[in-house]
Amino acid sequence: MKTVFNIILAACVVGLLYLCYESIMGPIQFNKEKDAREEQIKARLIDIRKAQVEYRSLHGGRYTDSFDSLITFVKTAKLPFIKKEGVLSDDQLEAGMTEEKAMAMISKAKRTNNWKEVQAAGLMNFKRDTIWVAMVDTIYGRGYNADSLRYVPFGNGATFEMAIKEDSTKSGAKFYLFEAKTPYTAYLTGLNKQELDALIDMQTKLERFPGLKVGDIEVPNNNAGNWE
């Protein structure tokens, strides 16, 4: 009888030790895996933001809420790159010369084939040429898979939510906002449900988005991420 009691007592001790271990290690393991997954989510959201910023620069300040349009843009768009040769000297700058004036003078010389003014101004070696380069290679690097932009890492096929909004200042000037986001439930599936529910509950009570996002269509924030 004493042996049976000892066995039961030992089992209870082991059970308590296990529960204590789980209560300590459970949150640690959850946060470790959460942080690892979120590194990839953040990187993807930053890639979306880069694409939207370039899209806006070539579309009159507007963003797009369509991943089809954004991905096509990334694959096909070309961005202007200014190739520079020569710099203005201190004397030229003090005399009121600017890059705009220098290029206007050089453009005139090209049209008239008269280079005396350019030569007198010391601009014969001053060049500014616009070269159009593929956006995908410039912003992301050669071989980047633009089709992946829409998909949430660890999301089992889930896609990011993306929205845009047109607004205006009190003076009537228009401006445009965008946001891209994904909730915890899209990419933390399979982890400790109790920890996930607690995380969502905490963010909700703090009136924060329960997930990761860049930009905001309600409050202008310069397209910042909610982790930045």
Task: Give, to the nearest 10 degrees, the angle between helix 2-57 and helix 67-76.
Answer: 60
- pLDDT value at residue 172: 81
Q: How confident is the model at residue 5 (pLDDT cuts 50, 70, 90)?
A: very low
The pLDDT assigned to 14 comes to 47
- Percent of the chain clearing pLDDT 90 (strictly above): 61
Per-residue pLDDT band for 188 (boundaries 50, 70, 90) equals very high
Residue among 211, 222, 161, 195 nearest 31 (CA) = 195
pLDDT-derived band at 31, boundaries 50, 70, 90: very high
Distance separating alpha carbons of residues 188 and 73, to the nearest angstrom: 30
Question: Domain locations in the chain?
Answer: 30-77+138-215, 78-135
β-bridge mates for residue 181, sequence order = 161, 213
Interatomic CA distance for residues 35 and 58, integer angstroms: 35
125 vs 13, 84, 100, 119, 173, CA distance in Å? 84, 10, 15, 9, 42
Tens of pLDDT, residue by residue over 93-106, are 988 999 899 989 99
Residues 6+ apart with CB under 8 A from 98: 88
16 contacts: CB under 8 Å, gap ≥ 6:
none
Size (the chain), residues: 228
Sign of CA pseudo-dihedral 188, 192, 33, 228: positive
pTM, entire model: 0.75
What's the confidence (pLDDT) of residue 176?
Answer: 94
Q: pLDDT confidence of 8, banded at 50, 70, 90?
A: low
Predicted confidence at residue 82, as pLDDT, reads 83
* Between 152 and 4, residue with greater pLDDT: 152
pLDDT in tens, 152-186: 999 999 999 999 999 887 888 888 999 999 999 99
| pLDDT above 90 for 28 | no
DSSP 8-state symbol, 152 = P
Mean pLDDT of all residues belonging to the chain: 88
Within 13 Å of residue 218, how many CA atoms lie on the same side as its CB? 3
Give residue 50's identity as a one-letter amino acid code: K
Band (pLDDT 50/70/90 cuts) for residue 34 is: very high
Kindly write down the DSSP assignment for every residue of 190-203, as one continuous string: TS-HHHHHHHHHHH
pLDDT tens track for 55-84:
999 999 999 999 999 999 999 998 888 888
